[in-house]
Amino acid sequence: MALNGKTAVVTGAAMGIGRSIAELLLQNGAKVAILDMNETAGQSLVETLNKEHGPDRALFLLCNVESEEEIKAAFQKTVETFGGIDILVNNAGIFNEITWEKTIGINLGGCIRGSYLVIEHMNKLTGGRGGVIINVASMAGKLMYLHLNRPFHPLIESRAAASVASGYGIRMNALCPGFVQTDLFSSIKSKLGQFSNLAGANQELIEKLGVLTLAEVVEGFLELVTDETKNGEALLVLPKEKKYATFSASPTD
C-alpha cells in the first residue's frame, strides 16, 4: 500500500510510539486523525504537524477507546473530514498493574472495539476502500511464539482469515516491539503494583535485550502497513533482530 493520499486513524497518538507513527504517515503523504485523551498534547501536536506538512493534514479528536460511542464519533468525524479511512493503528495503551481492569479495557478492549467499528468504514462490500489495521502490541505475546515455535496471536490470525474469507479487503497485522524509550517505559517501576518485587528481574531483561529507539519501531510499522503480502502476521522488533509469526491467511486483493 502506498501511503500517499491515504487516511489513517492512530489512537494514543499524542505522544510516544503513536506520535512517531503519525509523523511517519504524514511524511509519506497520508492524512492522519490523532486520537488521544491528552487534549493539550494532542492539539499542540496537530498544530505542529499542520505547520510542517501543510494545512488540514492532521486532525485531533479527543477519544477514550474504552467508549464505543466516542470511537464511533471519532471515525465518523474522520470520514467527514478526510473522505474515508484506509488505515487504523490501534496504539492506545497503558501499563499499570495497580489498575489492571482499566489496563485490559484500554489495551485489549480498545483494540478489539476499534477493529470491529472501523470495518463499517473500510469494508469493500459496503462501499469502503479496504485497507489495513495495525495493532501495536508488545514482545510479551510474541516471545511465546518463539519458545513454542508456533503462532500465538489468535486475535490477529482469526480476524485476518475472516477478512479474507468475507472479501472485506482489510489486512490485519500486529507490531510487537520490545522495550522502547518512551514516557511509558520510564514509569514501569512505579506501575508494577503487587509485582514490584519483579523490578530487578525486569531490569535484567532490559539490560539483556536493550532498548529500542522510536525510529526502529516505526520502521517495523512501515513494513507492515505498506507490504500488501503481510496479513495475519505479528512482527517482533528488538534492537538486534526482527522476527515474524506468520499465519496462513492470504493477502487481500
> Which residues are identified as catalytic?
145
Instruction: Kindly state the cell numbers that stand for 112.
Output: 478489539
φ, ψ at 87 (rounded to 5°): -140, 130
- In angstroms, the Cα distances linking 205 to 177, 240, 241 are 14, 14, 16
| 3-class DSSP assignment, residue 136 | strand
60-85-53 Cα angle (round to 5):
50
Where do we find the cell 503487587? 194
| 135 contacts 170 by C-beta, under 8 angstroms | no
| 221 contacts 21 by C-beta, under 8 angstroms | yes
- What type of residue sits at position 206? I
φ, ψ at 250 (rounded to 5°): -85, 150
**Whose CA is closest to 88, among 118, 110, 108, 64?**
118
**Whose CA is closest to 234, among 161, 165, 154, 170?**
154
**Residues with Cβ within 8 Å of residue 125, at least 6 apart in sequence:** 166, 167, 168
| 109 contacts 116 by C-beta, under 8 angstroms | no
